[in-house]
Structures are given as C-alpha cells and as structure tokens.
Chains A and B, each alone.
Chain A
Amino acid sequence: DIVMTQSPDSLAVSLGERATINCKSSQSVLYSSNNKNYLAWYQQKPGQPPKLLIYWASTRESGVPDRFSGSGSGTDFTLTISSLQAEDVAVYYCQQYYSTPSFGPGTKVDIK
C-alpha cells in the first residue's frame, strides 16, 4: 500500500500571502505509460465534504480559483495558494489514486 505524508501539520499565513503544503508518497505515483502523476488535492471546510481542487498533480478542477496550483512528480508534490483569502481556511488533503486510494493526514491552514 502507498503511504502518503504531508507537511506541515498546520500553518498560519497572513491574508494575501503564499501558503505552501508538501505531500510525499512512499512510492512513485507516476505512471510511465501515460506520464501522469496519479495525485489529487482536496479542500475540506468544517461540516462539509471534501472538494476536489487539483488532479493529475497539476490540473485545476473546473471552477477552482487560479490562486491554487499543484506541482511535483514521482513522490514529491506541492500545493500552493498564491494569495491566501479568508475563504481558504480549511484542511487540505493529498491523495494518490495510482493504486487503491490513500490520503495524506491533512494540513490545516489558518489566517495569521
């Protein structure tokens, strides 16, 4: 099974500043036959289900603001919020779907 880790556990960022979340998989999630990374990012606000933000490691889901971006390949990935807004306060999870899916432990983002 692929184990996902995230860092940091939590972070506080000033409004308008950049937030960066890291995700690491225990083995590569890059599928060589199509050169795609089977990695997604989700946002979850209190009392709500998760919302898909990014898939294939860097493709933004329709309707997601362009301040959210994903990068990385193989085993190391990053979610960046370029200019934090108040509505971005949430827990963010990475997920691999290369094999039976698994999620990272989550990173809580707050306003400083």
Chain B
Amino acid sequence: EVQLVESGGGLVRPGGSLKLSCAASGFTFSGSAIHWVRQASGKGLEWVGRIRSRLNGYATAYAASMKGRFTISRDDSEDTSYLQMNSLKTEDTAVYYCTKAFCSGRSCHYDYWGQGTLVTVSS
C-alpha cells in the first residue's frame, strides 16, 4: 500500500523557517518525482514545487512565489522528501501536501497524496 506521511508543520513567526518531511512507503521512492502542493484554508490547490528522481538529476522547480525561499530535497536512502521553507510570510499559511507524481511522456499527474500538514505563519 502506497503511503505518504507528512510531518513538521506548526506555528512559526513571519520571517521564520520550517522544514517539512514526507516519509514514503509502498512504492519505489527513488524512481519517483515528488511534488509539494499547498492549500490555504477555504482556498484551492496551489503547486509549490517538485524534485525529480536521481535518474533525472534530482532536478527541482518551484512556483514563482516560492522560488528562492523554498527548497525541496530528498533522501532516497530514507525514502523521504523535505520541504525547507525560509522567510515565511503570513500568506504561506496552508496545509502542505506531498504527492507522488506519475509522469508519462505527455504529462504528470498525482496518483497518491499524503494527508497533509498544517503550517501557520503568524505573530
């Protein structure tokens, strides 16, 4: 059974940092791209960024509003992905999901999602 379990969420002051983890099981983690998606309360889904597999050079990409502040990494020996968030703003308050991406030549979609972890940025 595929499982993605996020952790590390919590309350942080504006300007602060937080590191989220996503522990994966039930599939070949090292061969999969991992994406992070967030959702503010009562709002829609927003793509945060992704990290590709070792075969694809661990390439990362980020949404424009997060580029330079957020860093996605992975440890294939631990089947875990991380989302390091710096210079946090109140508008970063959201539930953060990690997702397993299935990518064909045409497109990528998310076939599995974690349960999410809540990040609250507030003074």
Question: Do A and B actually bind?
Answer: no
